[in-house]
Amino acid sequence: MSDEKTIICRCEEVSLKTINDTVYQYSCSSREVKLRTRAGMGYCGGRTCRHVIDTIVADLNQKVITDDIQLSYRPPVRPITFGALGGVYHENESC
Amino acid sequence: MLNLLIIGAGPAGLKAAIAAAEQGLNVKVIDEFPKVGGRLLGQLHQEPNGEWWNGMEMGEKLHQKAIRAGVDIQCEVSVVDISQSVSGWTVYTSQGMIEARKLLLATGATETPIPIPGWTLPGVMSIGAAQVMGNVHRVKPGNTCVIIGANVLSMAIANELRLCGIKVKEIVLPAVGPISKDAGIPEKVLASLMKLTHLAPTVILRQAGKLGKFINPSFAIKYFPRRGIKLFGIPIRLKTAAVEIMGEDHVTGVQTVTISSDGKVIPGSEKVTEADFVCIAGGLAPMSELASIVGCSFKYVQELGGHVPVHNERMQTNVPNLFVAGNITGVESAKVAMAQGKVAGLAIASEWKGKRQEIELALTTAMEEVRKTRAEALIQFQPGISEARDTVYHQFTLDELRMKQEVSVS
Ligand SMILES: Cc1cc2nc3c(=O)[nH]c(=O)nc-3n(C[C@H](O)[C@H](O)[C@H](O)COP(=O)(O)OP(=O)(O)OC[C@H]3O[C@@H](n4cnc5c(N)ncnc54)[C@H](O)[C@@H]3O)c2cc1C
């Protein structure tokens, strides 16, 4: 009922229902949920929803969360401009 | 090149900077927030002895002390990536690249949300965001609010919001479900509040803690009034759950239901509480993104808030020249973070100077201080922290042995 209305990943607008359905259909890990639904792959890089996705998926699969981080962190860990990424500020240039 | 770069100017980072600089190291601290102090900036609560814990003042004190010790502090710098270089570390930031021999991650903790229908509406925020708006920026997030999630943090911040002149209409639980888990079950919530409150910042919480020694929470919750109990005039309703946040383009209120001790909805009990903003208090988790990028191994420890980089009591990780301190190693109070920071600063200085005896002695005392501070902590986010910490240290020893074996085999 309300699962459709419960947004889990705000950046990519993925609902709880979509995540539930994906796990039921593919009995998959949170990493696979991410790849299939884009949950956690938006602008914020999963900073808001990653723990929630892990919790939901572990619960549906009736598994405990493992020591290994499922939803891997990838640089850049903050949204930054292409300029900064490309080294505009490198070599201690003043900005 | 810097001897030591510290990421995070919260209590852990600042204390570490002071300790290392006092030993003669050349130290820089960077932080992405415009002000120095980290989470200290928002904290304001009364201690059992009646004294107020004023985080902002403490932050300023540490800031000044760090400057006097010769630490270079730069704000509004976000670290986006880190790589290992021959001589140490290259840290990539929103303002360019910084090189350092040793690196300390003191990035604190992040809040976890509890998504419910309507939580993406403007006017819904995390409890920590409301704290920062009110206490740091001195902006009222609204006039009336409902807080979803009953835990130590939400109760402390509810009182801070009240002091800002906001009417906190009620603190309720999130509806029971796969995300809220125990946080949605009245009996479990009361049990955790009772366990944590032997030194709690408020009289009522302390009373609950005392009762907890004699009364079973599953018994006590039966007698917990439907209408809630009041803390500083704010109703805490453990038998009310939020099912939806209402509003078209902005929050107008929260739809709630009455629930039984085990979280079941009582039919026909729907009600709407009007409010112009809503806070979600879903708990805290260590902010481990940078530790993950540089290749630390992790342990999932629920009592510490989630995945923590494996480290020992000297705050050393299993990556050479990389240290951690504060909430990144597990969610605890600011005082514990400060004590851990001092340990990290001294451990780094000791490594730098070839384990000189006087630094090692100071380090032993500092480690002792962490344990003592933990035992006396006013705010404990979870029970069983000391034991949980031991499992992490044990993992460090195991990982170290395994790595040595791998080296001798290859
Ligand atoms: C909302 C909230 C409320 C809290 N309230 C209390 C309370 O009332 N009492 C209490 O004792 N404890 C409270 N705590 C616990 C709090 O985390 C500790 O008190 C303490 O502040 C932890 O210190 P720290 O130095 O580890 O991290 P923090 O104080 O969180 O400091 C970490 C700093 O690192 C910076 N940082 C993180 N990532 C990056 C990056 N990539 N680049 C640059 N800078 C970065 C952040 O901007 C931040 O300033 C609260 C925590 C939160 C999240």
Predicted local confidence at residue A10, as pLDDT: 95
Q: Which of B259, B236, B261, B277 is closest to B175 using CA atoms?
A: B259
In chain B, what residues touch A51 (CB-CB under 8 Å)?
112, 285, 306
Beta B52-54 vs B72-74: how paired, if at all?
unpaired
Size of interface A-B (CB pairs under 8 A): 99
Give the integer Cα–Cα distance in Å for B151 and B200: 11
Residue A2 lies in a domain: no
Per CATH, B2-110+285-409 and B113-282 having the same topology is answered yes
Predicted TM-score (pTM) of this structure: 0.94
**Tens digit of pLDDT for each residue in A37-77?**
999 999 999 999 999 999 999 999 998 899 999 898 999 99
CATH assignment at residue A35: 1.10.10.1100
| pLDDT per 10-residue tile (average), chain B, 410 residues | 97 98 98 97 79 91 98 97 93 95 98 96 97 94 97 90 95 93 92 65 56 67 82 91 97 97 94 98 96 96 95 97 98 95 98 94 98 82 87 94 83
Q: Do B78 and A60 touch (CB under 8 A)?
A: no
Q: Does B1 touch chain A (CB under 8 A)?
A: no
Site residues for ligand 1, CB cut-off 6 Å: A 77; B 7-13, 30-33, 38-40, 43, 45, 78-79, 106-109, 111, 128, 131, 153, 156, 284, 287, 290, 326-327, 333-334, 337, 379
Q: Where are the beta strands (DSSP E) in A1-95?
A: 7-9, 14-15
Q: Which of B148, B156, B152, B153 is closest to B184 using CA atoms?
A: B148
Kindly list the domain boundaries of chain B, sorted by start residue: 2-110+285-409, 113-282
Is CATH 3.50.50.60 correct for B113-282?
yes
Strand partners, B398: none
Spatial neighbors of B35 by CB under 8 A, at least 6 apart, are: B41, B59, B75, B136
Q: Which of B287, B346, B284 is closest to B15 using CA atoms?
A: B346
Predicted local confidence at residue B214, as pLDDT: 58
| Segment (H or E) for A92 | none
Tally the residues of chain B.
410
Tally the residues of chain A.
95
Structural domain boundaries, residue A35: 7-86
- Angular region, B19: left φ>0, alpha ψ -120 to 50, beta rest: alpha
The closest-lying atom of ligand 1 relative to the alpha carbon of residue B128 is 1
Q: Do A51 and B306 touch (CB under 8 A)?
A: yes
Give the integer Cα–Cα distance in Å for B27 and B5: 6
Collapse the DSSP code of A35 into the 3-class scheme (helix H, G, I; strand E, B; otherwise coil) and give the result.
helix
Protein fold of B2-110+285-409: FAD/NAD(P)-binding domain (3.50.50)
The closest-lying atom of ligand 1 relative to the alpha carbon of residue B12 is 25
The closest-lying atom of ligand 1 relative to the alpha carbon of residue B157 is 8
The closest-lying atom of ligand 1 relative to the alpha carbon of residue B131 is 1
Report the alpha-carbon angle B287-B9-B161, nearest 5: 75
CB B294 within 8 A of CB B322: yes
Q: Which of B154, B148, B175, B150 is closest to B241 using CA atoms?
A: B175
Pocket test for ligand 1, best of B58, B62, B107 (most atoms within 8 A of CB): B107
* Orientation angle between helical segments B385-409 and B357-375, nearest 10 degrees: 140
Q: Do A59 and B178 touch (CB under 8 A)?
A: yes
Give the integer Cα–Cα distance in Å for B42 and A44: 24
Q: Do A10 and B120 touch (CB under 8 A)?
A: yes
Q: Does A61 touch chain B (CB under 8 A)?
A: no
Q: How many domains does the structure of chain A reveal?
A: 1
In chain B, what residues touch A85 (CB-CB under 8 Å)?
80
The tokens for B324 are 């951690």
Whether ipTM exceeds 0.85: yes
Q: Do A65 and B96 touch (CB under 8 A)?
A: no
Report in angstroms the alpha-carbon separations of B293 from A29, A47, A84, B297, B360. Answer: 21, 14, 19, 10, 30
Strand partners, B372: none
Q: Name the pLDDT band for A94 (thresholds 50, 70, 90).
A: very low
CA distance A93 to chain B (A): 8
Give the integer Cα–Cα distance in Å for B401 and B410: 14
DSSP for A15-32 reads: EHHHHHHHHHHH---HHH
